[in-house]
Amino acid sequence: MNRNDLRRLDMNLLVIFEALMFEKNLTRVAEKLFMGQPAVSAALGRLRDLFDDPLLIRHGRGMEPTPRALAILQELQPAMDTISSAVSRAKAFDPSTSCDVFRIGLSDDAEFGLFPPLLSQLREEAPGIIVVVRRANFLLMSSLLASGEISVGVSYTTDLPANAKRKKLRDIPCKVLRGDKRPGPLTLDEYCARPHAMVSFSGDLSGNIDLDLAHIGRARKVVLAVPQFSGLRALLAGTELIATVPDYAACALVEGCALRAEDPPFEINAAELSMVWSGVHDNDPAERWLRSRIATYMSQPLPAAASADPDGAHR
C-alpha cells in the first residue's frame, strides 16, 4: 500500500482494531469508544476484509485474536503512538479554556487520600476539563496504559509496558488505625493479638505487612478484607479491629471521626507510590500539565495532625 492508497484507509478502523485486540469483546469496545455494537461489528467485518484474516475467533465464551491479528497489532501500535504524539504536540494547551478529557488511573489509597486536593487544583486552573478516574493497581496498571484507557496512573507499580515512563512521587509509610478508646500505643504483642482488617483489591488476606512481620517471627490475624478504604471508618469505630494503611489514607480517615492513627510497633518497609504514563503522551502539552500537577499535589508532605487522642481529639 503506497501513500495514495492510504487515502482510502479509515483511521477509525485502526482505532477500533486496537480496542478489539485488548478488549476481545464487541460490547466492551462499543462502550469504550461510545459506539453502537452493530457499528463495531460492521467495523470488524471491514477489518477482516482489509487484513484478509478473521482477526478474532470464538474461544469458549469469549474471543481470542488470531496470530496474524497479534502480529498486525505489534506493527501498528508504534505507528499509532507516533501519529498520536505528533498530533498532540501540534496542539496548544491553555488550561483556563481547555475542555479536554483526562483519564487517570488511581489506586484506591491514592484516590481516597491524595486525589481531593489535586482535583480542587485542577478545577481551579482548568474549570472546563473533564476528569475520568479508573480504579487501578499494580495488577491493572500495565494493561490500562497499554490499551490507552488511561494516559497516566498513580499507584504502587511493578511491571509496565515497554514504552511507559515512571516517576516516584513519595514513599508509602504506614499507620495503624484503631477505633477503641484505650490510652497508649499498641505493643507488638497487642498488635499481633488484635483482629485485623485490610483493604484488598483482589480479596487476598495477606500482603507486604505480613512479610515484614514474618521477618521478625511474628504474624497477625486478618479477619476482614474490604475493597476500598472509605469503609474502614464505620467498620473500625468502637471495635477491637485495627488496620494498617498508608499514612496519607490514615490522615484522611481520621479526619472528623473518633478513629486515631499511630506508628506501627515494628519496622515496615515502605513501598513507593509512583506516577506512570505512556511514552506516547510524554510531550503532549496537556498531559505534561496534568503530570506536573499530579507530581506537585500527590507528593506534598502530610499535615501534622494525622493521629488522635483516645477521646477523639486530633493531635
Query: Count of domains in the chain?
Result: 3
**Residue 2 pLDDT level (bands cut at 50, 70, 90):** low
Distances (CA, A) of 77 to 28, 72, 157, 165, 215: 20, 9, 23, 17, 44
Phi and psi torsions of 133, nearest 5°: -105, 130
Model confidence at 156: pLDDT above 50: yes
| Pair (164, 286) in one structural domain | yes
pTM, two decimals, is 0.70
203's torsion region: left (phi>0), alpha (psi -120 to 50) or beta? left
Residues in CB range of 268: below 8 A, 6 or more apart: 173, 174, 208, 209, 212, 244
**Residue 85 pLDDT level (bands cut at 50, 70, 90):** low
Please give the DSSP secondary-structure letter assigned to residue 8.
T
Rounded distance between C-alpha atoms, residue 138 and residue 2, angstroms: 42
Judging by DSSP bridges, how do beta strands 260-262 and 174-178 pair with one another?
antiparallel
Mean pLDDT rounded to a whole number for the chain: 87
Grid cell for residue 178: 484503631
With respect to residue 311, please indicate whether it lies within any of the assigned structural domains: no
Closest CA to 99 of 130, 69, 121, 65: 130
| Pair (157, 147) in one structural domain | yes
pLDDT at 303: 63
| Pair (123, 150) in one structural domain | yes
**Residue 307 pLDDT level (bands cut at 50, 70, 90):** very low
pLDDT at 82: 75
| Pair (216, 139) in one structural domain | no
pLDDT at 9: 77
With respect to residue 262, please indicate whether it lies within any of the assigned structural domains: yes
- Three-state SS at 169: strand
Torsion of CA 138, 141, 143, 145, to 10 degrees: -160
* List of E strands, the chain: 56-59, 62-65, 101-106, 130-135, 152-155, 164-172, 174-178, 195-199, 221-226, 242-246, 260-262, 271-278
Percent of the chain with pLDDT over 90: 56
| Pair (239, 108) in one structural domain | no
With respect to residue 57, please indicate whether it lies within any of the assigned structural domains: yes
| Pair (123, 79) in one structural domain | no
Q: Give tens-digit pLDDT for 104-124.
A: 999 999 999 999 999 999 999
Q: Give tens-digit pLDDT for 21-60.
A: 988 889 888 888 888 989 999 999 999 998 999 999 988 7
pLDDT at 309: 42
With respect to residue 309, please indicate whether it lies within any of the assigned structural domains: no
| Pair (122, 167) in one structural domain | yes
| Length, in residues, of the chain | 315
Under 8 Å between Cβ of 165 and 212 = no
- Three-state SS at 101: strand
Q: What angle do CA 173, 232, 271 make, to 5 degrees?
A: 20
| Pair (41, 151) in one structural domain | no
Q: Which CATH number characterizes residue 161's domain?
A: 3.40.190.10
Grid cell for residue 204: 487476598
Rounded distance between C-alpha atoms, residue 282 and residue 12, angstroms: 23
Question: Strand order of the sheet with strand 164-172?
Answer: 130-135, 101-106, 152-155, 271-278, 164-172
Rounded distance between C-alpha atoms, residue 288 and residue 293, angstroms: 9
Instruction: Pinpoint the alpha helices (H) of 24-66.
Output: 26-32, 37-51
Burial (Cβ within 10 Å: 0-12, 13-18, ≥19) of residue 5:
exposed
> Which domain covers residue 20, as residue numbers?
5-89
